């Protein structure tokens, strides 16, 4: 018997990938499947970004780059953050990462160990908890409540801090709820954190461009009092429809930058060079395609929310960000996961059960509206037929 490290048995997963695999399997067996399960834009990466990568390859950018990323790209990220949020960030604080996930992986690795507590949102992106458990730290869920517009509560978060707390993970706009935390609540949280100078913060802002109803993004970098312990996670995956390219960036404070650089050297050396040139084109080129995608998501959001609210037993708050709706299904009589499974098997609609995002996700489904309006309407019809004809299992 191979004797492996016990921590590996504690690593979790993202069920969205399992649902995608099952949906693909059913589709290849001839079933007509509508996928509202996966969290990626259904658009192509804009052509000028693709062309920049092709050009980089033709120009001979075939070798390693610095582990922290090419300087022009780090400068472009710094300029973009400066322009959008009026914050001063040096390119030397910015590290180019192979996607958004590696930043959470590294950040949790830096603070998680037995005896440490790490706070994370529930319901929230499942990888946070998975990584916390891997390190042996104690995962402390911060409840994200429907009655609070799926924003986090500063008061509730601050109350959970103990002398063991090392790291707090924040995410707004949020997956899976689409919730956006208002500035006043962030102000309150940061004011409270000033009493806890030993607690680090990782702010996952990967959906920062996807805001609706006039919301503006509150970037945690704009709070000087926590800048020396703030890790910012962001990237290109969602904003520029680049999930498959694997490109993200992080802002690391103080010595954490060097820790992250060394982890990169040990793990992957650097991000794919051509991809970095694509990311540079994305940030410095025209932004209208990105704005068009957000406008399209906004239209679909209205269709999906109106449709879900008409289904028997469902009610859906209007999400203000990302591309997810998180309808409450408690009055249908179904538990979330059996409902999601039955909708896929019997009606050909792929969605994710709320409990895949934490215990407090029970009673909800995650509906990704990264699909055409036509498909969304078809899926809503099928869900309506299912709920009127089928008794809860
Ligand atoms: N953070 C959140 C909240 C996400 O929803 C996702 C992807 O679904 C990520 C991070 C990971 O992004 P990436 O695909 O760039 O690793």
pLDDT digits (tens, 9 = 90+) for 259-318: 999 999 999 999 999 999 999 999 999 999 999 999 999 999 999 999 999 999 999 999
Residue nearest atom 9 of ligand 1, based on CA coordinates? 100
Q: Indicate the pLDDT class of residue 172, thresholds 50, 70 and 90.
A: very high
Per-residue pLDDT tens over the stretch 175-231: 999 999 999 999 999 999 999 999 999 999 999 999 999 999 999 999 999 999 999
Place of tokens 């590290």: 95
Flag whether pLDDT at 331 surpasses 80: yes
Q: Which of 19, 101, 174, 176 to mutate to test ligand 1, by most ligand atoms within 8 A of the CB atom?
A: 101
Tell which one of 42, 206, 243 to mutate to probe ligand 1, the residue whose CB is within 8 A of the most ligand atoms. 206
Q: What is the pLDDT of residue 1?
A: 86
Report the separation in Å between the CA atom of 384 and the middle of ligand 1, taken as the mean of its atom positions. Answer: 30
pLDDT value at position 329? 98
- Please indicate whether residue 14 or residue 368 has the higher confidence score (pLDDT): 368
Mean pLDDT of 331-351: 96
Please indicate whether residue 128, judged by its CB atom, sits closer than 6 Å to ligand 1: no
pLDDT of residue 326: 98
What is the predicted pLDDT for the residue at 39? Answer: 87
Ligand 1 midpoint to CA 104 (Å): 9
Candidate from 13, 238, 352 with most ligand 1 atoms within 8 A of CB, to mutate: 238
Atom of ligand 1 minimally distant from the CA of 16: 8
Q: Ligand 1 centroid to 49 CA: how many Å?
A: 20
Distance between Cα 283 and ligand 1 center (Å): 19
H helix or E strand, kind and range, residue 167: strand 165-171
pLDDT for 392 equals 72
Residue-range domains of the chain with CATH: 6-45+288-387 (3.90.1150.10), 63-284 (3.40.640.10)
CB distance 239 to ligand 1 below 6 Å: no
Task: Give the pLDDT confidence of 28-45 residue by residue, as tens digits.
Answer: 999 999 999 988 898 999
| Ligand 1 midpoint to CA 332 (Å) | 30
* Percentage of the chain modeled with pLDDT above 90: 95
pLDDT at site 20: 87
Separation CA 215–CA 181 (nearest Å): 10
Is pLDDT of 15 > 90? Answer: no
Nearest of 91, 87, 318, 326 to residue 218 by alpha carbon: 87
Cβ–ligand 1 contact at 235 (below 6 Å): yes
Choose the weakest-confidence range: 38-42, 63-67, 316-320, 355-359.
38-42
pLDDT in tens, 67-119: 999 999 999 999 999 999 999 999 999 999 999 999 999 999 999 999 999 99
pLDDT at 38: 85
Q: What is the mean pLDDT of residues 135-149?
A: 97
Provide the 8-state DSSP code for 160.
T
Give the pLDDT confidence score for residue 4 in this predicted structure: 94
Residue minimizing CA distance to atom 12 of ligand 1: 100
Q: Share the mean pLDDT of the chain.
A: 96
DSSP 251-295: E--TTHHHHHHHHHHHHTSS--HHHHHHHHHHHHS--HHHHHHHH
Residues 333, 335, 341, CA angle at the centre, nearest 5°? 115
* Ligand 1: centre distance to CA 310 (Å): 30
Would you say the CB of residue 354 lies under 6 angstroms from ligand 1? no
Give the residue, out of 130, 173, 175, with the most ligand 1 atoms within 8 A of its beta carbon, to mutate for a pocket test: 175
Pairwise CA distance, residues 341 & 37, whole Å: 12
Q: Would you place residue 324 in the very low, low, confident or very high pLDDT band (cuts 50, 70, 90)?
A: very high
Complete edge-to-edge strand list for the sheet that includes strand 324-325: 324-325, 365-368, 352-353
Mean pLDDT across 150-155 = 97
pLDDT band of residue 253 (cuts 50, 70, 90) is very high
Q: Which atom belonging to ligand 1 lies closest to the Cα atom of 322? A: 5
Evaluate whether 163 touches 196 at the Cβ level (below 8 Å). no
Q: How confident is residue 49, by pLDDT bands cut at 50, 70 and 90?
A: very high
User: What distance in angstroms lies between residue 100's CA and the mean position of ligand 1's atoms?
Assistant: 5
Does the beta carbon of 321 sit less than 6 angstroms from any atom of ligand 1? Answer: no
Ligand 1 pocket: which of 39, 125, 127 to mutate (most atoms within 8 A of CB):
125
Residue 359 has pLDDT above 90, yes or no: yes
Q: Is 125 in the pocket of ligand 1 (CB under 6 A)?
A: yes
Distance in angstroms (rounded) separating the CA atoms of residues 48 and 16: 30
Percent of residues, the chain, with pLDDT higher than 70: 100
pLDDT at 384 over 80: yes
Ligand 1 atom closest to Cα of residue 124? 3
Going by pLDDT thresholds of 50, 70 and 90, the confidence category of residue 358 is very high
From CA 382, how far away is CA 348, in angstroms rounded?
Answer: 8
Per-residue pLDDT at 391 exceeds 80: no
109 vs 131: CA distance, rounded Å: 8
């Amino acid at each position: 018997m191979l004797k492996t490290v016990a921590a590996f048995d504690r690593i979790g997963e993202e069920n969205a990938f399992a649902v995608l695999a099952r949906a693909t399997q059913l589709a290849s067996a001839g079933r007509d499947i509508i996928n509202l399960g996966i969290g990626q834009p259904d658009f192509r990466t804009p052509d000028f970004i693709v062309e920049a990568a092709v050009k980089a390859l033709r120009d001979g950018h075939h070798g390693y780059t610095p582990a922290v990323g090419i300087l022009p790209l780090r400068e472009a990220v710094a300029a973009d953050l400066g322009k959008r949020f009026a914050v001063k960030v040096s390119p030397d604080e910015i590290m180019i990462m192979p996607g958004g996930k590696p930043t959470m992986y590294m950040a949790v690795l830096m603070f998680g160990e037995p005896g440490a507590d790490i706070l994370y949102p529930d319901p929230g992106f499942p990888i946070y908890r998975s990584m916390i458990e891997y390190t042996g730290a104690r995962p402390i869920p911060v409840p994200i409540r429907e009655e609070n517009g799926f924003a986090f509560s500063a008061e509730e978060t601050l109350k959970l801090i103990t002398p063991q707390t090392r790291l707090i993970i924040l995410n707004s706009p949020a997956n899976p709820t689409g919730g956006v935390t208002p500035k006043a609540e962030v102000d309150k949280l940061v004011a409270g954190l000033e009493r806890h100078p030993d607690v680090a913060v990782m702010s996952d802002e990967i959906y920062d461009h996807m805001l609706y109803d006039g919301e503006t993004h509150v970037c945690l970098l704009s709070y000087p009092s926590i800048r020396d312990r703030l890790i910012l996670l962001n990237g290109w995956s969602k904003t520029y429809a680049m999930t498959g390219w694997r490109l993200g960036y992080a802002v690391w404070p103080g010595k954490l930058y060097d820790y992250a650089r060394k982890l990169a050297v040990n793990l992957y050396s650097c991000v794919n060079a051509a991809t970095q040139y694509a990311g540079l084109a994305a940030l410095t080129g025209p932004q209208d395609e990105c704005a068009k995608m957000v406008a399209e998501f906004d239209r679909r959001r209205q269709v999906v929310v109106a449709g879900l609210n008409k289904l028997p037993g469902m009610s859906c708050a209007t999400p203000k960000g990302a591309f997810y709706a998180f309808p409450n299904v408690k009055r249908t009589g179904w538990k979330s996961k059996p409902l999601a499974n039955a909708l896929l098997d019997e009606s050909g609609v792929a969605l994710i059960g709320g409990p895949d995002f934490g215990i407090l996700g029970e009673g909800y489904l995650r509906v990704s509206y990264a699909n055409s309006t036509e498909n969304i309407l078809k899926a809503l019809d099928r869900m309506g037929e299912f709920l009127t004809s089928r008794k809860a299992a």
